[in-house]
Amino acid sequence: MLAPWDSCFDCATIGLSCGRLCKAVLLNLGSWMRIGMGYDVHRLVEGRRLILGGVEVPFEKGLLGHSDADVLTHALMDALLGAAGLPDIGQQFPDNDPTHAGADSLKLLGEVLRLVKKEGYTPGNVDIVIAAQEPKLAAYIPAMREKLANVLDLPVSAVSVKPTTTEGLGFVGIGAGMAAWAVALLEPMSD
Ligand SMILES: [Zn+2]
């Protein structure tokens, strides 16, 4: 049995034909896949709807922003753009552009997917953390995953959304805002 870092040279060509994880295969996997991360914060204010992952969550406050301020979707977009080596959402969708006022962030996510595909990549899976002290988000997570998966054309199992509080600490803990982190894996398009 060969260790995964040894070259086995059983393959006539570099690939998975011999079924072993030889060095050549591992090196190739490294050049096929791309990873990116995104981070976003929005302030919580009265008189705004709370939209997270394209889902309206009933709450007395909402996130402040030029678009619908969907902090979770914004972090995801920056992860996808970062993985493709593209400029971030601040440059793609400037907040001084009136066409993006009140924009549906799921539509912007669709635009990000188009940009990523233009670079020859397609998402493999994404993982998102949303930090909010209140309200409780667990009941809305399945709907968020489904909406994001629909836009990205991925199975729901490839779209993870994990809510967390910050145990009352920091700006999230005192309810001044929400933060989100996302990572995204891109794979080359097969055609
Ligand atoms: Zn944002």
Residue 186 has pLDDT above 50, yes or no: yes
pTM over 0.95, yes/no: no
* Domain ranges within the chain, ordered by starting residue: 1-32, 33-188
pLDDT of amino acid 24: 58
* pLDDT value of residue 93: 92
Residues of the chain above pLDDT 70, percent? 83
Spacing, Cα 77 to ligand 1 middle (Å): 10
Distance 124 CA to ligand 1 centre (A): 23
Ligand 1 centroid–CA 19 distance in Å is 44
Residues 6+ apart with CB under 8 A from 182: 37, 38, 39, 72, 75, 76, 78, 79, 126, 127, 128, 129
The CATH number that domain 33-188 falls under is 3.30.1330.50
Query: What would the pLDDT profile of 49-64 be if each residue is shown by its tens digit?
Result: 999 999 999 999 999 9
If DSSP codes are grouped into helix, strand and coil, which group holds residue 108?
helix
pLDDT one-digit tens code per residue, 109-148: 999 999 999 999 999 999 999 999 999 999 999 999 999 9
User: What is the distance in A from the centroid of ligand 1 to the CA of 114?
Assistant: 19
Q: How far apart are CA 100 and CA 98, in angstroms?
A: 5
Residue 99 pLDDT more than 60? yes
**Banded model confidence at residue 13, pLDDT cuts 50, 70, 90:** very low
Q: Is pLDDT larger for residue 18 or for residue 37?
A: 37
Q: What is the pLDDT of residue 15?
A: 47
Residue 36's pLDDT band (cuts 50, 70, 90): very high
Distance 111 CA to ligand 1 centre (A): 15
**185 strand-pairing partners:** 35, 125
Compute the average pLDDT of residues 20-42: 76
Matching residue, tokens 């595909």: 117
Question: Which of 113, 65, 107 lies closest to 90 in space, CA to CA?
Answer: 65
State pLDDT tens for residues 24-33. 556 666 568 9
**First and final CA of the chain: distance in angstroms?**
35
Kindly tell me if the per-residue pLDDT of 180 is higher than 50.
yes
Q: What is the mean pLDDT of residues 69-76?
A: 98
- pLDDT for 189 equals 87
What is the pLDDT of the chain when averaged over all its residues?
A: 89
Cα(62) to ligand 1 centroid in Å equals: 13
pLDDT confidence of residue 96: 86
Distance, CA 122 to ligand 1 centroid (Å)? Answer: 23
